[in-house]
Homo-oligomer: A and B are copies of this chain.
Amino acid sequence: MKLAIINPNSTESMTKKCEEVALKFKNPDTQIWASNPSNSPKSIEGHFDEVKSLMGLMDEIKKAKEWGAEAYVVACFDDPGLEAARELVDGPVIGICEAAMHMTSIISSSFSVVTTLNRSVPIIEELSHKYGMDKFCRKVRAADIPVLALEDGTCNAMEKIENEILKAVKEDNCEAIILGCAGMADLTIELSKRCNIPVVDGVLCAIKMAESMVGAKLQTSKINAYAYPIEK
């Protein structure tokens, strides 16, 4: 199958990181397309950054469709543009927050999310509400790390996230942790070991969810919400 992974920001090292996760964990017969818009913000930190990334993201979705993509992962934890993308294509479109929350609700009775900045907390809380996951999501926490600091290694990301996870374990009565940023994908295994709790990466969840939904012959419903755009 052909799987497109689109990082909606324009930082190529983050796209690479997602592609590496995909190449490492994909099924043997899965072909990976990984891309990002060139004209979107360097990182998505807040609603306006999201808006600025959307048209570029849509263009990448269309390119991936032409390539023959059968499923699409949007690799930003704010899950920007999912619904609009679903209108453009038949194959499933999956957000990394969405995939992580659904899957984690199957391996634990509750989880907390650790994201980058405080301003992303209400965005992720709203996603939890939208996906029906409020019952499982104990708390969304920020480790106070700018997204790009995850890339340039200037901020002791591992330690800060570890500290926040340990606080979550102590205060939230949660049974798993979801990392709330695509840029944290490479820290999952180490953090899981250090903190002795399942630590879940949305990028990986979404990639595997995409493969499984294509395998299950599921396609986006074209009735109402995700019908093709009307030509004007």
Contact = CB atoms under 8 A, between A and B. Distances in A.
Interface stretch (A12-20, A149-157, A222-230): A222-230
Contacts of A49: 229-230
Q: How many copies does the complex hold?
A: 6
Interface in A159-213: 173-176, 197-198, 200, 204-205, 207-209, 211-213
* Size range of the chain A interface in the assembly: 35 or more
B230 A107 contact: no
A109 B51 CA distance: 18
Given A109-B226, A132-B132, A215-B25, A58 B48 contact: yes
B226 A108 contact: yes
Of A45, A98, A119, A221, most buried by chain B (CB within 10 Å of CB) is A221
A212 to B, nearest CB: 4
A129 B130 contact: yes
Contacts of A211: 208, 211-212, 215
B105 A132 contact: yes
B107 A92 contact: yes
A222 B226 CA distance: 34
Contact of A213 (B51, B87, B107, B220): B107
Contacts of A68: none
A105 to B, nearest CB: 7
Of A55, A81, A106, A230, most buried by chain B (CB within 10 Å of CB) is A106
Interface string A32-55: 000000000111011111111011
A223 B165 CA distance: 14
A49 B231 CA distance: 10
A115 to B, nearest CB: 12
A225 B108 contact: yes
Contact of A46 (B41, B87, B92): B87
Q: Name the 6 nearest CB pairs between A and B, nearest first.
A: A208-B212, A132-B132, A109-B225, A212-B212, A109-B122, A108-B221
